[in-house]
Structure 1
Amino acid sequence: MLGRRRWMGTVAGLCLLSALGAGCGKKDGASPAAANEWKVGAYLSLSGAETQFGKDTQEGTELAVEEINAKGGVKGKKVRVIFEDDKSNPQEATNKVLQLINRDKVVALLGEVASSRSKAGGIVANKNKVPMITPSSTNPDVTKVGPFVFRVCFTDDVQGQMGARFIKEKLGKNKVAVLYASDDLYSSGLANEFKSEAKKLGLNVVAEKSFLKSETNFTTYLNEIKSAEPEAIYAPVYYNAMVPIARQAKAAGLAGSMFVGGDGWHADSLVHDAGEEMEGAYFTNHFSPDMPAPLSQAFVKKYVEKFKREPSALAAQGYDAAMLLFDAMGRAKGDTPEAIRDAIAETKDFQGATGAITINADRNADKPIVIVQIKGKKFTYFDTVSTK
């Protein structure tokens, strides 16, 4: 932003204050693709509560950009991704998407990692008719905001159902407790889907405890859960909440192997800070670095060479979201956001690091679910489950 004239700041301010920015500074029918490059916007939580998720996604995206540009780009033009930090805040997500569309004239958007922020950014993207792909936001409402919003991950209704089926059919458990954040779209949505499927399967939910994201003391909830004598505890929370939950659960006498979670667990800090307490726990996920698929292993090899560590599921999804977008840009019948949107919608059997991806009529990804177990303070591949 340094060096911009004052009137540019005024225009940007007016755009932000308008009703979600109905395309300020963008002429109808004009293509935002520059003559010599494609500009793509990415808004991520590069600071704030979900920083690790945002940075992992950024690294996966950067690897995809490096790879596509090494092959000559898309239609002979290099791709440039402009990253913006929304600070893990939905309002900032709205602001950053507006900036990327109005100021930077991006042809498409990638983001966000959290459902609440993807929904906020998606509303702006859809209003401005710029296609957006979220790598990892699983709440079903995200893509319901309009025809320009897509995802490359499975949805919480599918993930919640598979979590319940896994506990019932694979673990052979019947009594289960549920622990979740009531003020988080991801956590509460996944808990509700799990409970609905648990009822259909005949699982007995013996305890249900909810908390606010700002809470850090879970001892009371965990003691109440323990007194209900569950055989398994479903905790669809983010990794930053699961660390203190795991530590306090151990102190309360609840084994880590009792816990089953969702994809929000996959962050290195979970096994680094609570790997011992979480030994034996399982969670549904999109990817595991040791899953035995050739494309997955090729991605892992490239990622390790560049970043000197194994990729998380968020990194793999960031890579897949970017590569699927670039593939759609190459297939699009024009360089406009509308043409790219149509090409994304037509994606069938795209081969990614996380598996084969087909975009369905609801703009969601039809793909398998990976089961990951925590063993020896590491995420280890356990199984791949079809969602059909």
Structure 2
Amino acid sequence: MSRRVSYSQDTSDFSDAIRKAVGSAALSGPSSSKGGDARKLRQEAIVIADRWEKAFLLASQLRFYNVYLPLAGFSGWNDEELLRKAGDAVDRSVFSVDYSGSVPGFPGENFRKEYRDALEGTPSRFEATGYDAALLLAEAYRLGEKDSRTAGELARERIPLLGTFRGVTGMFQFGPEGEMRRKVSLLRVELGTFVPVPDP
């Protein structure tokens, strides 16, 4: 990471943040070629650790300055409004996602459909995470006979015995001491849509 730049939450003009991130000298000089083409910069990418509402503003303003670096973010970008408002300014961006029910082939696709049918609403990642937590506990409790110990004690003992749990938010693996490992899924923006990034 070459530079870390922050801004206040009420920022909508990111000119100063962009100058700090890529350098004022880089923005004051000409683009690498005529016609507003991409500038030559030291950075290889820009990580925007904020929600889609700020990501689309930043992406659009980066384009204004002819900064065409790949963008990366996190699950706060997982919103169709990002695609609609940012357009091609976020094309080829990649971000991590903990739940996506709108992308074909993701584990949450069926959950989203069933949730909408049952409750006539769209689930967020919080409903998906809660659903996974309930399923995980139910599976752990099914592993043994009735027991007089508390639910917390049983969960601590039995969850590691599951080994692997596939939920609507992805795959979880549990080690012998109960430590959890979770594979992080990535989405990429391609031609105005979210697509899964294939495993290497």
What amino acid is aligned across from residue 86 of structure 2 in structure 1? A
Counterpart of 1:367 in structure 2 is: 182
Q: 1:242 aligns with which of 42, 52, 55?
A: 55
Counterpart of 1:383 in structure 2 is: 198
Distance 1:245 1:362 in 2: 43
SS of 1:236's equivalent in the other structure is coil
Deviation by residue 1:52-103 (Cα, 9 ceiling, x = unmatched): xxxxxxxxxxxxxxxxxxxxxxxxxxxxxxxxxxxxxxxxxxxxxxxxxxxx
Deviation at 1:220, TM superposition (A): 0.9
What amino acid is aligned across from residue 211 of structure 1 in structure 2? Y
SS of 1:383's equivalent in the other structure is coil
1:222 is aligned to 2:18? yes
Report which stretch shifted further, 354-363 or 304-313. 304-313
Counterpart of 1:192 in structure 2 is: none
Distance 1:212 1:291 in 2: 36
Distance 2:97 2:190 in 1: 16
User: What runs of 5+ residues in structure 1 fail to find an aligned partner?
Assistant: 1-194, 196-204
Show the 5 A alignment for 1:1-388: 195=1, 205=2, 207-227=3-23, 229=41, 230-255=43-68, 258-288=70-100, 289-290=102-103, 292=105, 296-306=108-118, 315-331=127-143, 333-334=147-148, 336-342=150-156, 343-360=158-175, 365-384=180-199
Deviation by residue 1:185-219 (Cα, 9 ceiling, x = unmatched): xxxxxxxxxx4xxxxxxxxx2x3312344444321
Alpha carbons 1:368, 1:384 under 8 Å: kept: no
Q: How many residues align?
A: 179
Distance 1:275 1:312 in 2: 23
- Percent of pairs with identical residues: 21
What amino acid is aligned across from residue 265 of structure 1 in structure 2? W
Deviation at 1:265, TM superposition (A): 2.0
What amino acid is aligned across from residue 19 of structure 2 in structure 1? N
Deviation at 1:283, TM superposition (A): 1.0
Distance 1:223 1:310 in 2: 39
SS of 1:384's equivalent in the other structure is coil
Deviation at 1:259, TM superposition (A): 0.5
Distance 1:363 1:240 in 2: 37
Deviation at 1:320, TM superposition (A): 1.8
Distance 1:363 1:218 in 2: 44
Deviation at 1:381, TM superposition (A): 1.3
> Over aligned residue pairs, what C-alpha RMSD do you find?
3.3
Distance 2:90 2:72 in 1: 10
SS of 1:271's equivalent in the other structure is helix
What amino acid is aligned across from residue 254 of structure 1 in structure 2? V
SS of 1:277's equivalent in the other structure is helix
The verdict on how the C-alpha distance between 1:267 and 1:321 changes in structure 2, with shifts beyond 3 A counting, is farther
Alpha carbons 1:275, 1:378 under 8 Å: kept: no
Deviation at 1:304, TM superposition (A): 4.5
Distance 1:213 1:341 in 2: 39
Deviation at 1:282, TM superposition (A): 0.9
User: What runs of 5+ residues in structure 2 fail to find an aligned partner?
Assistant: 27-40
Alpha carbons 1:369, 1:384 under 8 Å: kept: no
Distance 2:14 2:142 in 1: 50
Deviation at 1:249, TM superposition (A): 2.2
What amino acid is aligned across from residue 354 of structure 1 in structure 2? T
